Every structure is written in C-alpha cells, then in structure tokens.
Amino acid sequence: MAESILRVESVDKKFASVHAVDSISFEVQRGEIFALLGPNGAGKTTLVRMLMGIIRPDSGEVTFRIHGEVAPPAPPDLGYLPEDRGLYKDLPILRTLTYFGMLRGMSRADAKSSAQMWLERMSLKDRFRDKLETLSKGNQQKVQFIASILHKPPFAMFDEPFSGLDPLNQDFFLDILRELRDGGMTILLSAHQMQLVEKLVDRVFLMNRGRQVRYGTLAELRESIDLGSRLGFRFRGEALPDVFTSHPAVMDAHIDPSGELMIDVRKGSSISDLLRFAAERLDIVGVTSERPSLHDVYVLALQQTKEATP
C-alpha cells in the first residue's frame, strides 16, 4: 500500500459569504504526480495556499509526512511555484536564485552551483546577469520554476507551471517534471492545459465551487462518466449530425474542424449496431475510436455536477 506524504481532512475555508473550500479531503501518495483541477473560482488557489501555510483553514487538518514523521503544515523544505510572479524583477537572475536557495537552507556555494546548472538546462546560461524584468514571460516562468526546485525539495506544488510557455517548452517541462518524479520528488500541480496534465498525472482531484467533483486515477475518472468512447468518421458527401443524435447509443454528434463526424457513445452501448446505423447513412472511408480524454472527463463531470445542483 502506497504511503501518504500529504493528508487533507475536511478542510474548510470561508471569506465573508463565499465558501471557497467546502469540506475537502484527499491524500497525495509519496512519489506520485497529483493534479488539482477545476475551473476558475473553484477554490484551487485558496486550497494550495492553505497547504503552504500561507492562510489557515477555518476547520479541518493538513498533515505532511515528509521525512517519515508527521510535520506541521508547510514544512520549510517544500517547493512552491505560485501562479503569480514572486521574484525580484530588478536584480540579476543568478543573484536572485542564489538568495532563494540560501533561504531554503543551502550554502551560498551550493545555491549558486545549483542555480547555474538549472539555468544552463533551461537555455538561460548566458542570461544570468540579466534582470528578471528583461526576460520574456516564458523565460520568467523558467526562472520562477528553478527557484521552486533549486533545493531539491521532497514535495513541490506547482500552480500553473505551463503558464507563458510555448509548445516546445511545454514538452520540455513535461520531461523535467517526469524526471523530478522519477528522482523521488512528489508533485502536486494545478493547471488548465488538460492535454498536458493527462500525459503526466497518476491521480486527479477535480473540484468546483469549493467542493469535490471527482477524485481518483484517470481510469477511475473515465469510469465515473457516461461517455464510453468517441468515434470519428471520415466520409464522402454530407453528414447531418442531428440524424445520429436520434440513436440511443449517441450522447452527442458534431462535425469537427477537420470535417470528420465525431460521435460520443454512451458507456455500455452497442458499437456494432451504431456502426451499421452509420454505414446506412454515410459513405464511410475511415473510422477511428478513442477513449475519453481528461478534457472530456473534466467537461462532462462538471456538467453532471451542474445538472445535479438544485
């Protein structure tokens, strides 16, 4: 059985009439990448700030077990990448990173050496004398990221780690996060780029309006929604999506930007019958099938929650 490095039990937080976090409970297991997801205003940032000890919950408990012993909230060796920039804009980058490493208990020499190594890995070796404000948003994000993992924390929380990054650097960050996880770091991240999160995470906690919506592995989340699979049809001629929504196996049908007819199939429905139905109405030249993506799960789970709310 996996060991929990973080346990959140019935955590609650209100701001005046806003119930930002409503009785949230979950565990993060040692050595995993755990995603905290939800729309804007879901309560994610408030929850992360409580985990970091920046604000205190009104009730409930946050417990870390970093080095085998129960620790108070926000042990000093945590790594934290905030969504907002939190570094000095008018100081040289290397000097800033060295200072942040020393704040985490590193010697000046070790902090400088680690900062130089990471700047080189981030293709910023020649910019170490530059001030943060002179860098692009993507490069500022790289420096902010280095500051959060410079001291090799056993547990790190990243709030929107892909912010400001172009596609190449997003893929680069995916590799870095996997490398850190494989090296023993436990990671909690919050992000809106579902296609990137899906490539990384071991488990997911989805929340909305301060409450839990879904919690578990990707397989468990897929099982929790009505969508069984998505079929894509390449065809000659025309297709009317509304014709297919009349079939009992179909949740939704639409023409995507590439011109394919995309059909969302209800879980447990007969695909063979649907294929016969489609063949009678289309001149089909190709068929694809894919399982629900994390984006699909995210959208459908939030829709189901909204429909169930009085």
Residues 6+ apart with CB under 8 A from 116: 94, 125, 128
Q: Tens of pLDDT along the chain (310 residues)?
A: 578 999 999 999 999 889 999 999 999 999 999 999 999 889 998 999 999 888 999 999 999 988 777 766 667 788 999 887 778 888 899 999 999 999 999 999 999 999 999 999 999 999 999 998 899 999 999 999 999 999 999 999 999 999 889 999 999 999 999 999 999 999 999 998 999 999 999 999 999 999 999 999 998 998 888 888 899 999 999 989 999 999 999 999 999 999 999 999 998 888 999 999 999 999 999 999 988 889 888 888 888 777 655 5
Task: Identify which of 54, 46, 42 has the alpha carbon closest to the alpha carbon of residue 78.
Answer: 54
Residues 6+ apart with CB under 8 A from 271: 229, 231, 249, 265, 289
- Structure pTM? 0.86
Note whether 164 and 142 are within 8 A (CB): no
> How far, in Å, CA of 126 to CA of 139, rounded?
12
The type of residue at 28 is V
> How far, in Å, CA of 110 to CA of 221, rounded?
43
pLDDT tens per residue, range 221-232: 988 888 888 999
Give the chain's largest Cα–Cα span. 73
The full 3-state SS of 75-91, as one line of letters, equals CCCCEEECCCCCCCCCC
57 token code pair: 């919950």
Quote the pLDDT of residue 224.
Answer: 86
Quote the pLDDT of residue 17.
Answer: 87
The correct answer on CATH 3.50.50 for the domain covering 228-291 is: no
Quote the pLDDT of residue 97.
Answer: 95
Note whether 304 and 287 are within 8 A (CB): no
Quote the pLDDT of residue 309.
Answer: 53
- DSSP H helices, the chain, are 44-51, 93-103, 108-121, 137-149, 167-182, 194-200, 218-223, 241-245, 271-279, 294-308
pLDDT tens per residue, range 48-70: 999 988 899 999 999 998 877 77
Quote the pLDDT of residue 200.
Answer: 94
The CATH superfamily holding the domain 4-222 is P-loop containing nucleotide triphosphate hydrolases (3.40.50.300)
Q: Where are the domains of the chain?
A: 4-222, 228-291
Pairing of strands 33-37, 186-190: parallel
- DSSP H helices, 165-214, are 167-182, 194-200
217 token code pair: 């592995």
Quote the pLDDT of residue 1.
Answer: 57
DSSP single-letter state for residue 213: E
